A and B are shown apart, each in its own frame.
Chain A
Amino acid sequence: MQTASKRLPLDLRPAFLLPAVAALTALLVAGPARPDPHPDARRIVAIGGSVTEIVYALGQQERLIARDTTSSYPAEAMELPDVGYMRALSPEGVLSVGPDLILAQEGAGPPEVIALLRDAGIPFETIGSGTDGEALIAKIQAVADTLGVPETAEAPVAALQADLERLADEPEEAARKRVLFVLTLQGGRVMAGGEGTEADAIIRMAGAENAIQGINGYKPLTDEAITAAAPDVILTMERGGGSESLNVANEELLSLPALATAPAARNGAVIRMDGLYLLGFGPRTGKAALELHDAIYGDG
């Protein structure tokens, strides 16, 4: 059977796919690795929650005219027209808002739509993604450079660096707490965040250890695996703007047989944070990681 990705291979294993990137760039007019500056762009469409957030952090929101569905922060961004989900964009929809620059997070698509947008003569710039401190700083700088205002990145980058430095003196390996990220709880079945997830990245950034090792992605776990993970802390998302009905109740969570024996249940250690804030990997991530660190170790 034929198997391969329709995505540009840029977001796959970079080292492995470097030759493909070169070939595809020539073949498909793929995006340049480093975006060009567009200081004159005044009608910008931001695609991707963290890109939109960075544009606001840089104080350049006046230049935005539309956003995608994943851009839900800050609240003012929600007032902009929504051009659809970032991986299922509609070509005419994006063109209809009359953009002079499209600023997209890596992974925006589908690729044929992006090719059409380029054909229409609209500059399309892709911002790389990543889930560590360096990648985050590079991302903020890339957005600032693309907008033609590199100096505006100084403040948010400095703030992020300061947060990351405070996190740098992380506890000894033995003293690190084990955190279980619970994505959802359906019928008592825990969907947990394994390795390679945003949850894993933020937990490590906060100086703790992901209790789930050896599993990739967000996966439903058996009760025994959770018992074996023995988390010190349970981390979960706050949903629906704080409406209680959508949240996993603490009692429900801690009364699960699988979790009842965990240290987290004895201490009632459940941490809740807003999903985009916690997992969005934008300019607020440093703060989020610090907040998580303080909540885990209780030394805020």
Chain B
Amino acid sequence: MVALEYRPGERLAGDRRHLGRGLALWLILLLAVMSLISLGSGASGVSAPAVLMNWFSGQEIAATDRVVMFDIRLPRLLTGILVGAALAVSGAIMQGLFRNPLADPGLLGVSAGASLGAISAIVLGGWLPVAMLAVVGWYLVPLAAFSGSWIAMLVLYGIATRRGRTSVVTMLLAGIAMAAMISALSGLIIYAADDTQLRDLTFWGMGSLAGSSWTKLAAAGPVMLLALIAAPGLAHGLNGLALGEAAAAHVGIRVQRVKTGAVLVTAAATGAAVAISGGIGFVGIIVPHLLRMVAGPDHRWLLVNSALLSASMLLIADMISRSIVAPAELPIGIITAVIGGPFFMWVLLSNRSVVDR
């Protein structure tokens, strides 16, 4: 008879935990390389090494070169990294919380809320008091999107929580009902929109990093960063939740705290990401899946690796978006879907036996 005895240090067949750390190192390297390529590429042909060389030696840099390097490419690079990381980490957390491979932040009403906020700002903005317009200016759409995502999330969380316990199933079902209500409201506002506003809405929905700036990054960056720093703290709890809520509680996991944490981190990360970049689809689902297939579902590495891989992928997508129709730009949401869709399909089909099990 074979003894099913666990000896510490021994690796069982199928155990892929050890892959996580190695993978993380490779992904850091990949992100570093992608960042450098991203800084060095763009429609204008401004050379990153030349500009940096002049900068370090204290020489005068042409205004155009300076703006391209430090005000366009650099904030755009950082925004891309943060948005990519935030979207994938949110996706991974949601899939862990709902124990469902198709879960995404949309289940919290975050996406619908954000788009209702953006739509309201774009269409109804003109009616706002003048004094308020002067204060918030162009950041109204991001602000409204972020507030919208948080309001939707808080309402849903409130509905699903009774006597200090959050029911994931209620959240899921109420989320569907709320998404329908919110999109009806959005539809009503869209009906009142004029042609240019409709155009703005369409472009917002396809996502873009083109509007990245230091000011926007200063507003949304810390929120995403905070969420990303807090995320690994949820890893242990999410691993426990994979056993089911009751079992997780039995092994000593404070289930309610994990749920609350997961919801807050996701709403912060996704809300801020959507607010500054619009709707960039698909990375939140594809990246965590890819990594689970390669290195297993252990959240301790899954969350970190999702952030790293997704950041690199978004940088690649952004490079394509700004070079493929240069000097114009294709919205990045189109690229992530066009490339991500078939790629994901291919991964699924070639790993069919693993997925079906």
Contact = CB atoms under 8 A, between A and B. Distances in A.
Interface of A: 1-7, 9, 12-13, 16-17, 19-20, 23-24, 27-28, 66, 69, 81-85, 87-97, 107, 110-113, 115-116, 119-122, 196, 216-219
Contacts, number: 170
A3 B328 contact: no
A89 B326 CA distance: 11
Given A7-B138, A24-B134, 5 more contacts: A84-B327, A88-B210, A111-B137, A116-B67, A116-B71
7 contacts: A1-B151, A3-B127, A19-B130, A27-B137, A82-B327, A93-B327, A111-B138
Contacts of B196: 87, 107
Contact of B64 (A5, A120, A219): A120
B68 A95 contact: yes
B132 interface: yes
B43 A110 contact: no
Most chain A CB atoms below 10 A, which of B121, B133, B196, B216:
B133
Given A81-B327, A112-B213, A218-B195, A92 B322 contact: yes
A107 B210 CA distance: 17
Given A85-B199, A87-B203, A111-B138, A4 B327 contact: no
A121 B64 contact: yes
B71 A2 contact: no
Contacts of A116: 67, 71-72, 213
Interface in B272-286: none
Contacts of B147: 1-2
Contacts of B117: 1-2
Interface in B226-249: none
A91 B137 contact: no
Contacts of B136: 2, 4
Given A6-B125, A93-B43, A20 B133 contact: yes
Contacts of B67: 91, 95, 116, 119-121
B87 interface: no
B128 A96 contact: no
Contact of B329 (A5, A27, A93): A93
Contact of B199 (A83, A87, A91, A96): A87
Secondary structure class of chain B's binding surface, majority of residues: helix
B208 interface: yes
Contacts of A120: 63-64, 67-68, 71
Contacts of B68: 92, 95, 120
A17 B327 contact: no
Interface in B32-78: 42-45, 63-64, 67-68, 71-73
B144 interface: yes
B177 to A, nearest CB: 19
A3 B71 contact: no
B141 interface: yes
A19 B133 CA distance: 11
Closest 10 CB pairs of A and B: A5-B125, A84-B328, A4-B128, A93-B327, A96-B43, A90-B329, A96-B44, A120-B67, A4-B125, A121-B63
A185 B194 CA distance: 18
A3 B210 contact: no
Contact of B134 (A5, A20, A95): A20
B127 A112 contact: no
B137 A13 contact: no
B133 A83 contact: no
Nearest to B328: A84
Contacts of B43: 90, 92-93, 95-96
A96 B44 CA distance: 4
Given A93-B327, A107-B196, A113 B211 contact: yes
Most chain A CB atoms below 10 A, which of B71, B121, B126:
B126
B44 A92 contact: yes
Interface in B249-298: none
Contacts of B151: 1
A234 B174 CA distance: 48
A33 B270 CA distance: 39
Contacts of A93: 43, 322, 326-329
B200 A87 contact: yes
A116 to B, nearest CB: 6
Nearest to A17: B130
B90 interface: no
